[in-house]
Structure 1
Amino acid sequence: MLYGIAAATAALLLAALLAALLRGPALRAGIVDRRMQRRLPLLGGLAVVAVTCFVAWVGEWTRIAPLGDGVGRLLIVAAVLAALGLVADVWRLRARVLVAGTAVAAFCVVPYDETGVPGGMLAVCWIVVASLAFKGLDHVDGLAGTVGVVTAFGAGACAAAEVLDGLAVLLSVFAAALTGFLMHNWHPARIGLGACGSLFTGFLLSSSLVLTRAGYGLGPSAAVVCCFGAVALADAVLVVLARWLARRPLLRRGPDHLAHRLRRLGLTPPGSVVLLGAGSFSTVLVGVLMHTGWTGERAVLWVAGGVLVTVAVLLRIPVQRPRETTSVQVSGQLRVRNG
């Protein structure tokens, strides 16, 4: 207990310090993203990954909080995937490379002896979808970190209920590191999570749920994991439907995510994050209650209904056109005028 508190405190402080130190090098190296007409350095995810791995390794090395074979392998694979995300932040890899890398990583962590081959394949699909959907949440200041912290605490509670102490400690350390990062990522953000941190977060959380639910029935497990990933999945469904109906490329970025549409309704950037964070807390709480047996599987129907209603309502909110399209139209108008 005391080690868990000390480890979480150390992770929070180290992540906050390292994120602040990495901001300057990221700006000088050009590892940035454009957000709200400003340059946002993207090495915040590296701080979260490095601190989580370091604190967890100290617990493993001292044998005070050993992770166990399955959890140790999960952390190593997640760190390798984070390295791929870091490469994507620096050199802008194609989306198919990230999908393939996430799929290979998922194949390496699923416990097939407990899930079976068919269940294992479904678990791989869930991890890939959840990881990429969580990456999509990193479209506004503070959102991915807030949802990640809430989900990590819920997943840690489920792991503790299954007496998976190593996994519970890892998730608590990760939640603390992500909280330290959020000190610099709240609006207006001074550093971003990037593909490195968002892929690591989504992969670690979704894989942890697979390990926690291994041995349970497929239907109840699907209900639990969908509750945990409700906000990320709602964002992904909303974006896919909006771009498909507008006949726009699915992989082209645009201001059509959950937080963007909430802002069109008049919410401030922090207000939209708080609202979505509260929604994540509600759905994660339902998932924890379902896992621990305090409520039945039918509770997932309320979550699914809330997601469908949210998507249906926000889909009708008009959004601004992507900046790339607007700039092309403007340049075309200038050429016509000059001609």
Structure 2
Amino acid sequence: MREYLLVLSVAAVVTFLTTPIARWIAVRWGAMPDVRDRDVHAIPIPRLGGLGVYVGMCAGVFVAHSLPRLQGTFADSSETTAVLIAGGLIGALGALDDRFDLDPLTKLVGQIACAGVLVLLGVQLAFIFIPGTSLGTVSLDPNTSFLLTTLVVVAAVNAMNFIDGLDGLLTGVAIITALGFFVYSYWLGRQGYNDVFSSPALLTAVLAGACLGFLPHNFNPARIFLGDSGSMLIGLVLAAAAISTTSRTDTQSFSTLGTAIPLIMPLLMPFAVLAIPLLDMLLAVIRRTRKGLNPFSTPDKMHLHHRLLEIGHTQRRAVIIMYIWTALLTFVGVGSSIVSWTVVLVVALIMVVVATVLMFTPRIRRRIDGGAPHVPRTAYASNDEGAR
């Protein structure tokens, strides 16, 4: 654990120190587009935050390569290197979008290409285990494996991109999600299903550290945004960690449906810990499609975080509420395999109550005040230079 804490700390410190440089590059390069109608910040804010996150991750991985236990993860697998290469490519794609605002089709093709590189370099779903049936472990042929892996990566990339709408929102969600994946991967190793020192655990540790180092620059009022260079990088790393965890687990360790939970969880966890961004993306696609609009090129102000602002929350409170819901779903996804269901239910119930009370606090206050309307979003957005 000490080695993981070291690489996490290195990634955090390097990201914190290099993010101002990324901001300077963004300003010089012009990667700070004009404020759009759907934005809730009042002035242009530099993007390219993904550059600082990527440099921090690389620094963490570099240190890990020199540590006695973690260096074994590079000898056992090329997955960490594959993620850094594919992550660098998708970060570069995002940087181009941050500067030139690429069209949706170009971005989608680029995302598929980066996912393809990830697969070719060794990160892929080679099998799917279906417990409780006669099928057991289903080996995937190369074409099916490529298509399924690509679908998972592209879905995670776009889900993270969709939720990036408030200062610090995606960064905090990424920290919670990455730590959830890390705890689960580490627990698998402690239980003997995997090695404690593994690529998924290393990747999520350095990602969590990099995002922790970036958050002080990104929390409201933000001085720099992650941009597509950061959101797509985060999505790719998280997807790769989930895929890697699945592919490295020994299916022969499981004989019944009950004992197969650790193998099923890597497939279910992305939906648990990414439930908020995936739900937001799904609702946006349905909403825009019903109106006859292109779901990926017609942005609107109806995302979950926008609705929290409309209720009357400040940006910071809206972000904290989203953090709590993400932490809740992550805890349920991870805790269901690690601790008893009683503990999971009790903690989950407490978090649900806290999140619900926070969500409806503005409406409760308005009723107490006699129905006085809340301050329009445009009013507080104009007074908050970091608002998005």
CA–CA distance in structure 2, aligned partners of residues 8 and 76 of structure 1: 20
Q: Is the 8 A contact 1:224 1:290 kept in 2?
A: no
Q: Is the 8 A contact 1:224 1:291 kept in 2?
A: no
Shift of 1:61: 4.9
CA–CA distance in structure 2, aligned partners of residues 210 and 182 of structure 1: 26
The aligned counterpart of 1:3 is 3
The aligned counterpart of 2:155 is 129
Is 1:224–2:269 an aligned residue pair? yes
Give the one of 97, 101, 105 matched to 1:96: 105
Post-superposition Cα deviations, 1:157-194, rounded to whole Å, max 9, x if no partner, equal: 12212335233133112111101111011111100001
The alignment's C-alpha RMSD in Å is 2.9
Shift of 1:219: 6.4
The aligned counterpart of 2:379 is none
TM-score (norm 1): 0.80
Shift of 1:97: 2.3
The aligned counterpart of 2:361 is none
Q: Is the 8 A contact 1:8 1:176 kept in 2?
A: yes
Is 1:77–2:122 an aligned residue pair? no
Q: Which amino acid is the alignment partner of residue 240 of structure 2? A: S
Q: Which amino acid is the alignment partner of residue 6 of structure 1? A: L
Matches within 5 A, 1:181-220: 181-214=214-247, 215=249
CA–CA distance in structure 1, aligned partners of residues 284 and 269 of structure 2: 23
Is 1:245–2:290 an aligned residue pair? yes
Q: Is the 8 A contact 2:64 2:70 kept in 1?
A: yes
Q: Is the 8 A contact 1:130 1:203 kept in 2?
A: yes
Shift of 1:64: 5.4
The aligned counterpart of 2:383 is none
Shift of 1:221: 4.7
CA–CA distance in structure 1, aligned partners of residues 160 and 341 of structure 2: 26
CA–CA distance in structure 2, aligned partners of residues 293 and 98 of structure 1: 41
Q: Which amino acid is the alignment partner of residue 81 of structure 1? A: I
Identity of matched residues, %: 26
CA–CA distance in structure 1, aligned partners of residues 110 and 104 of structure 2: 10
Give the one of 172, 175, 181 matched to 1:146: 172
Q: Which amino acid is the alignment partner of residue 244 of structure 1? A: T
Q: Which moved more, 1:109-118 or 1:260-269?
A: 109-118
Give the unaligned 5+ runs of structure 1.
311-339
Give the unaligned 5+ runs of structure 2.
129-138, 190-194, 252-259, 357-388
Q: Which amino acid is the alignment partner of residue 159 of structure 1? A: S
CA–CA distance in structure 2, aligned partners of residues 161 and 152 of structure 1: 14
How has the CA–CA distance of structure 1 residues 54 and 212 changed in structure 2, closer, same or farther, with 3 Å as cutoff? same
The aligned counterpart of 1:24 is 24
The aligned counterpart of 1:162 is 188
Matches within 5 A, 1:319-330: none
Post-superposition Cα deviations, 1:29-63, rounded to whole Å, max 9, x if no partner, equal: 21014342211100211100111012202322565
Give the one of 25, 43, 55 matched to 1:50: 55
Considering fraction of residues, name the structure with more helix. Answer: 1
CA–CA distance in structure 1, aligned partners of residues 201 and 267 of structure 2: 21
Q: Is the 8 A contact 1:48 1:181 kept in 2?
A: yes
Is 1:234–2:247 an aligned residue pair? no
Post-superposition Cα deviations, 1:249-299, rounded to whole Å, max 9, x if no partner, equal: 321222221111111011111111111111011111111134548559xx9
The aligned counterpart of 2:124 is 111
Q: Which amino acid is the alignment partner of residue 124 of structure 1? A: T
Post-superposition Cα deviations, 1:9-41, rounded to whole Å, max 9, x if no partner, equal: 222122112112322331232101434221110
Shift of 1:4: 2.5
Larger radius of gyration: 2
Q: Which moved more, 1:129-138 or 1:143-152?
A: 129-138
Post-superposition Cα deviations, 1:112-133, rounded to whole Å, max 9, x if no partner, equal: 4445324653332122111111
Q: Is the 8 A contact 1:238 1:258 kept in 2?
A: no
CA–CA distance in structure 1, aligned partners of residues 165 and 272 of structure 2: 21
Q: Is the 8 A contact 1:56 1:173 kept in 2?
A: yes
Post-superposition Cα deviations, 1:282-321, rounded to whole Å, max 9, x if no partner, equal: 111111134548559xx9xx9xxx9xxx9xxxxxxxxxxx
How has the CA–CA distance of structure 1 residues 269 and 82 changed in structure 2, closer, same or farther, with 3 Å as cutoff? same
Post-superposition Cα deviations, 1:60-91, rounded to whole Å, max 9, x if no partner, equal: 25655224322322222222211211122122
CA–CA distance in structure 2, aligned partners of residues 162 and 220 of structure 1: 10
Q: Which amino acid is the alignment partner of residue 102 of structure 1? A: Q
Q: Is the 8 A contact 1:158 1:212 kept in 2?
A: no
Shift of 1:220: 5.3
